[in-house]
C-alpha cells in the first residue's frame, strides 16, 4: 500500500515538473506576524516543498500587512499566504482567489483552525472568568486589522455587550510582531493581551515566554471552542489561513500549485497542519461585517455617528432652520391667537355699537313721530270734531223726535247705524295716532302700498281733497312690499309733510302734491313729488345729514331717520330733482324690495 502511494506521488511530481518548466520562478508572499525571521522560518518549508514539486524556484517574501498590500497591488506576487480576515479584504479589493485552506494539525478541520487567546498574567489578583469581565481593562493587541490578534476577540466582546471601540476597553496597539503584546502584559503596561491561538504554547516551548507566566481567559461557552490539541483559545475557531492566487496568476499555474499543496506531507505540532480544499469563509465575512471593517468598512459611513461627523454642517443648518421654523410657527400661533382675540373683541364691540345705534335710531324715530304728532294736532282736533258733532246732532234729533212721538223704528235704526259709523271713524283716527306715537318691536309683514298711502292720507285728512294726487302704474296694484307698516307710514308722512311745507314756503299751495306707485329695477317705488324751487348742490349734498334743516322750527332728523328706516328694510331713499321742462321741484323716491309671492299671500296686507 505504501509502495503504491509513493509511486503516485512520483508520477504527480513528474507531471508538475513538466507543466511548470516554462515558469522562471513563482513569487509567494506571506503575511508577517512574528518577530524577525520567525515568519520566514515558519513558511520556508512550504516554499521549499513547492519548489521541489514544481521544479522552479519559489521566492518567499515575508511582508507586513501594508507591504503585502502594496506588493499585491503592483502585481509583484503570484500567490499569498495570509490570515482569513486579510484574505477577505484582498478578495474584495484585488480579486484574490483562495485555492487551499490550512487546517490545524495533520487531522484538523480547516473550518476551525484560527482563533484568539486573550492572556493575562497568571499572578493577577482575581483572574477574569470570561471575556466580559475585562470591561474597562487595558488590553494590548498588535493592530486593529489583525484577524486572530484582535478582531476575533473584538467580535466576542461585542456579542457579550462590550464595545471595545466605543470605550468598553482601553485599547493599546503595539504593532507587529505579536511578541510585543506578550511583553506588554508581562511588564504590566497592559492588563491583558490578544494573541493568535497556539502562539503562547509555541513560545512557552521555545522559551520566548516563561512557562506558566501567562494565563488564557476561557471562552464564554466553557471551553467549547474546538481548539487544536495542546492549545487554549478564548474565542470560537474560524477557517484557517488561506493560500490564494492573485488576479494575474495563470489558472494553469494555480492548478499546479494546488496539486502540489495537496501533495505536501502534514506534520504535527502547535503551528503545523496540512493544506486541504478551500473552506467556507462565510463566518469570516459575518465577523468582519459585525465589526464593520474591510471589506465592510462602508457600513460605518451609514451609522449615525459617521453621518453626523460627515454632515454636521448640513445637520446644524437643518437643525437651525427647524428651530427657526418652530419659533416662527410659535410666533404665528401667538399672533393668530392675539389677532383672533382682538377680532372677537372688535366683533363684540361692533355688535354692541350696532345695538346701541339701533336703540338710538328707534329713539330718534320716536322723537320724529312725536314731532309729526305736534304738527297733526290741529288735524286731529278737526277730524275728531266732525264725527263728534255728527254724533251729537243725531242724538239731539232723536231726542226731539222721541219727544214729539213721531220716531219711526226704521229712522231710529238708521240714526243708530250712522252714530256707530262716526264712532268707528273717530276710533280709527285716535288708534292711528296712538300707533304712530308708541314704541314697539318692528313687525315685518306684506304691505299693500296703496293701503299705506290711503292710511297716510287719512291721518292727513285736514288737507284739502285736491292737495294730493295719487297715481298707480299699471300692474303695480298687485305688488306688495315686506316691512313694518308704522315705520313706513312714518317715512311717507314725513315726505308728505315736507312737500306741504315746501309748497307753503314757495306760495304754491294750489299745486297738488304727487304720489306715484311704480315698479323700478325689481323694487317698488313710492315717490312724493313737490313743485318747490330747485335745491343748490350744497343743500342737496346735506339733505340727509342729521340735524341739518331748512325749517325754522325743524329738528333736522326726519329725512335722516327716514333713510335709515328705508335701508333697514333693504331699500333706499333718494332725492331726485325734477327737470324744469317737467315743472321743476323735487321727487323723493322710497325704494322698497318686493315681497315674495308666497309671503304676500300668507300675510294680511296693511
Q: How far is CA 528 from the centre of its chain?
A: 65
Give the whole-angstrom CA distance, residue 104 versus residue 110.
7
**Could you read off the pLDDT of 146-175 as tens digits, one per residue?**
998 999 999 999 999 999 888 899 999 998
- Grid cell, residue 570, equals 333693504
Name the CATH superfamily, with its identifier, for domain 26-109+242-276: Periplasmic binding protein-like II (3.40.190.10)
> What pLDDT sits at residue 28?
95
Where would I find the beta strands (DSSP E) of 473-544? 481-483, 513-520, 523-529
Give the whole-angstrom CA distance, residue 329 versus residue 327.
5
Q: Which CATH number fits domain 116-235: 3.40.50.1980, 3.40.1390.10, 3.30.420.40, 3.40.190.10?
A: 3.40.190.10
> What pLDDT sits at residue 227?
66
Give the whole-angstrom CA distance, residue 381 versus residue 377.
6
Q: Helix (H, G, I), strand (E, B), or coil: what is residue 276?
A: strand
How many CB atoms are located within 10 Å of the residue 191 CB?
A: 20
Q: What's the first-to-final CA gap in the chain, in angstroms? A: 140
Top-confidence residue, 284 or 364? 284
**Could you read off the pLDDT of 234-285 as tens digits, one per residue?**
999 999 899 999 999 999 999 999 999 988 876 544 445 789 989 999 999 9
Q: Which of 126-140, 449-463, 471-485 has the lowest mean pLDDT?
A: 449-463
Q: How far is CA 534 from the centre of its chain?
A: 69
Q: What is the mean pLDDT of the chain?
A: 81
Q: Give yes or no on whether 26-109+242-276 and 116-235 have one common fold.
A: yes
Ordered by start, the domain boundaries in the chain are 26-109+242-276, 116-235, 305-437, 445-593
> What pLDDT sits at residue 66?
87
Q: Which long-range contacts (CB under 8 A, 24 or more apart) does 561-565 make?
A: 561/361, 561/364, 561/365, 561/368, 561/490, 561/494, 562/490, 562/491, 562/494, 562/495, 562/590, 564/361, 565/365, 565/487, 565/488, 565/490, 565/491
CATH fold, domain 305-437, is Helix Hairpins (1.10.287)
Question: How is domain 445-593 classified at the architecture level of CATH?
Answer: 2-Layer Sandwich (3.30)
Residues whose CB is less than 8 angstroms from the CB of residue 100 and which lie 6 or more positions away in sequence, other chains included: 242, 243, 258, 261, 262, 275, 276, 277, 278
Across the range 206-229, mean pLDDT stands at 77
Amino acid at each position: 500500500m505504501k509502495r503504491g502511494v509513493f509511486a503516485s506521488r512520483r508520477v504527480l511530481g513528474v507531471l508538475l515538473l513538466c507543466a511548470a518548466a516554462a515558469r522562471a520562478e513563482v513569487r509567494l508572499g506571506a503575511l508577517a506576524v512574528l518577530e524577525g525571521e520567525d515568519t520566514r522560518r515558519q513558511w520556508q518549508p512550504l516554499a521549499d516543498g513547492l519548489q521541489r514539486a514544481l521544479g522552479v524556484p519559489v521566492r518567499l517574501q515575508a511582508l507586513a500587512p501594508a507591504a503585502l498590500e502594496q506588493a499585491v497591488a503592483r502585481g509583484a506576487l503570484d500567490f499569498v499566504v495570509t490570515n482569513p480576515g486579510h484574505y477577505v479584504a484582498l478578495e474584495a479589493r484585488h480579486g484574490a482567489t483562495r485555492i487551499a485552506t490550512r487546517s490545524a494539525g495533520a487531522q484538523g478541520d480547516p473550518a476551525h483552525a484560527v482563533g484568539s487567546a486573550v492572556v493575562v498574567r497568571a499572578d493577577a489578583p482575581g483572574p477574569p472568568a470570561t471575556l466580559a469581565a475585562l470591561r474597562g481593562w487595558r488590553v494590548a493587541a498588535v493592530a486593529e486589522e489583525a484577524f486572530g490578534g484582535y478582531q476575533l476577540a473584538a467580535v466576542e466582546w461585542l456579542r457579550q455587550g462590550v464595545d471595545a471601540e466605543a470605550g468598553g476597553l482601553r485599547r493599546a496597539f503595539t504593532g507587529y510582531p505579536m511578541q510585543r503584546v506578550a511583553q506588554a502584559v508581562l511588564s504590566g503596561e497592559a492588563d491583558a493581551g490578544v494573541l493568535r491561538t497556539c502562539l503562547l504554547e509555541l513560545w512557552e516551548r521555545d522559551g520566548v515566554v516563561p512557562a506558566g507566566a501567562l494565563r488564557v481567559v476561557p471562552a464564554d461557552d466553557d471551553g467549547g471552542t474546538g481548539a487544536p490539541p495542546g492549545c487554549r483559545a478564548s474565542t470560537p475557531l474560524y477557517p484557517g489561513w488561506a493560500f490564494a492566487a492573485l488576479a494575474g496568476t495563470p489558472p494553469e499555474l494555480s492548478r499546479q500549485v494546488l496539486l502540489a499543496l495537496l501533495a505536501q506531507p502534514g506534520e504535527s505540532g502547535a503551528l503545523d497542519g496540512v493544506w486541504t480544499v478551500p473552506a467556507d469563509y462565510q463566518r469570516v465575512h459575518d465577523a468582519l461585517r459585525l465589526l464593520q471593517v474591510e471589506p465592510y468598512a462602508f457600513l460605518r459611513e451609514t451609522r449615525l455617528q459617521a453621518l453626523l461627523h460627515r454632515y454636521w454642517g448640513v445637520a446644524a443648518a437643518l437643525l437651525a432652520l427647524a428651530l427657526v421654523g418652530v419659533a416662527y410657527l410659535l410666533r404665528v400661533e401667538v399672533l393668530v391667537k392675539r389677532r383672533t382675540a382682538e377680532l372677537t373683541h372688535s366683533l363684540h364691540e361692533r355688535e354692541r355699537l350696532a345695538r346701541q345705534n339701533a336703540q338710538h335710531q328707534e329713539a330718534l324715530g320716536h322723537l320724529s313721530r312725536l314731532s309729526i304728532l305736534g304738527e297733526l294736532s290741529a288735524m286731529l282736533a278737526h277730524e275728531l270734531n266732525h264725527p263728534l258733532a255728527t254724533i251729537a246732532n243725531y242724538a239731539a234729533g232723536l231726542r226731539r223726535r222721541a219727544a214729539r212721538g213721531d220716531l219711526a223704528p226704521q229712522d231710529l235704526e238708521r240714526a243708530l247705524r250712522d252714530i256707530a259709523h262716526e264712532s268707528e271713524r273717530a276710533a280709527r283716527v285716535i288708534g292711528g295716532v296712538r300707533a304712530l306715537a308708541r314704541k314697539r318691536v318692528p313687525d315685518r309683514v306684506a304691505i299693500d302700498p296703496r293701503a299705506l298711502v290711503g292710511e297716510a292720507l287719512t291721518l292727513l285728512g285736514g288737507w284739502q281733497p285736491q292737495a294730493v294726487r295719487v297715481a298707480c302704474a299699471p300692474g303695480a296694484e298687485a305688488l306688495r312690499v315686506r316691512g313694518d307698516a308704522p315705520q313706513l307710514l312714518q317715512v311717507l308722512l314725513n315726505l308728505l309733510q315736507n312737500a306741504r311745507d315746501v309748497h307753503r314756503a314757495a306760495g304754491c299751495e294750489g299745486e297738488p302734491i304727487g304720489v306715484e306707485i311704480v315698479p323700478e329695477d325689481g323694487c317698488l317705488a313710492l315717490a312724493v313729488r313737490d313743485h318747490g324751487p330747485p335745491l343748490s348742490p350744497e343743500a342737496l349734498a346735506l339733505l340727509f345729514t342729521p340735524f341739518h334743516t331748512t325749517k325754522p322750527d325743524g329738528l333736522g332728523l326726519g329725512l335722516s331717520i327716514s333713510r335709515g328706516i328705508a335701508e333697514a328694510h333693504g331699500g333706499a331713499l333718494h332725492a331726485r330733482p325734477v327737470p324744469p321742462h317737467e315743472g321743476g321741484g323735487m321727487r323723493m323716491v322710497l325704494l322698497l324690495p318686493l315681497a315674495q309671492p308666497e309671503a304676500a299671500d300668507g300675510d294680511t296686507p296693511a
